[in-house]
């Protein structure tokens, strides 16, 4: 029996190491961490606001430094990136009815009743994108109430209402692209002073005006015009 003692110890150590390794792998591949890694990868930085629909593999997050946001599904495997000013609004839907909403340029419609859902609680994000105009985050479903990570009904509604308030804060600090473009179109444009038209040079430019010559120069010119030859005067005499 003693000869099997070291073998049993080695088997026990191997089992402990395998269990620890499995725990580390499970921790690393946890759904929330995978979603965070996927959003950080596409946003090029940390997420400053994050919402995760546990058990659905979906999430959304903001990065205010880069003025971008991203939505993800398949636990971070697939992502879409938007500019924050492409986000038009958000709706909280309970059992197929919109009970709260927050849209750009509109006052927020808060949720009055924080409970009473029977089938589903979903947060719907709406974007200015013809191809992917919306993204749904299912926060609670009646068929998944027994799951450990599932939120309760009132918790899911509170989370959705909290995100409606967050959207309103984002809209206040970030003007939309359409309003910015309209402001640029309606703003008066200052006209720059125009240069005078270019004039072609004349073929025969006028001669520059004569300037007065000094007295010494005039005497020199007179001596050149009337020369006196001493030899001629002698011959004449």
Asked if pLDDT for residue 193 goes beyond 80, the answer is no
Pairwise CA distance, residues 121 & 91, whole Å: 11
Q: Give the whole-angstrom CA distance, residue 79 versus residue 75.
A: 9
Q: Is the pLDDT confidence value at 185 over 50?
A: no
Reported confidence tier of residue 31, pLDDT bands at 50, 70, 90: confident
Question: Tokens 């946003």 appear where?
Answer: 43
pTM of the model: 0.65
- Residue 138 and residue 120 in contact, taking contact as beta carbons nearer than 8 Å: yes
Tokens of 57: 């593999």
Nearest CA among 138, 180, 165 for reference residue 52: 138
Task: Report residue 79's pLDDT band, with 50, 70 and 90 as the boundaries.
Answer: very high
pLDDT band for position 175 (cuts 50, 70, 90): low
DSSP state of 109: B
What is the tens place of the pLDDT at every residue in 201-229?
555 555 555 555 555 544 445 444 444 44
Residue 135 phi/psi, 5-degree rounding, is -150, 125
Q: How confident is the model at residue 188 (pLDDT cuts 50, 70, 90)?
A: very low
Question: For residue 84, what are its two tokens?
Answer: 């924050």
CA distances from 229 to 36, 217, 220 (A): 114, 21, 16
Following DSSP, what letter does each residue of 152-221 receive, concatenated? PHHHHHHHHHHHHHHHHHHHHHS--HHHHHHHHHHS--PPPPPPPPPPPPPSSPPPPPP-PPPHHHHHHH
């Amino acid at each position: 029996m003693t000869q099997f003692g070291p073998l049993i110890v080695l088997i026990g150590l191997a089992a402990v190491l395998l269990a620890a390794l499995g725990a580390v792998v499970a921790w690393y591949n946890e759904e929330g961490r995978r979603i965070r890694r996927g959003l950080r990868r596409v946003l090029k930085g940390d997420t400053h606001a994050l919402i995760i629909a546990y058990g659905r593999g979906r999430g959304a997050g903001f990065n205010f430094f880069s003025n971008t946001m991203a939505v993800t599904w398949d636990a971070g495997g697939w992502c879409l990136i938007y500019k924050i000013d492409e986000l038009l609004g958000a709706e909280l839907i309970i059992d197929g009815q919109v009970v709260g909403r927050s849209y750009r340029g509109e006052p927020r419609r808060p949720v009055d009743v924080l409970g009473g859902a029977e089938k589903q609680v979903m947060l719907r994000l709406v974007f200015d994108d013809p191809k992917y105009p919306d993204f749904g985050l299912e926060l609670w479903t009646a068929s998944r109430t027994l799951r450990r990570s599932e939120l309760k009904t009132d918790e899911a509604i509170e989370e959705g209402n909290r995100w409606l308030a967050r959207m309103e804060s984002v809209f206040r600090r970030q003007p939309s692209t359409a309003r910015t473009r309209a402001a640029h179109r309606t703003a008066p444009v200052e006209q720059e002073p125009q240069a005078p038209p270019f004039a072609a040079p004349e073929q025969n430019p006028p001669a520059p005006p004569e300037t007065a010559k000094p007295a010494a120069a005039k005497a020199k010119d007179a001596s050149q015009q009337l020369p006196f030859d001493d030899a001629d005067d002698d011959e004449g005499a």
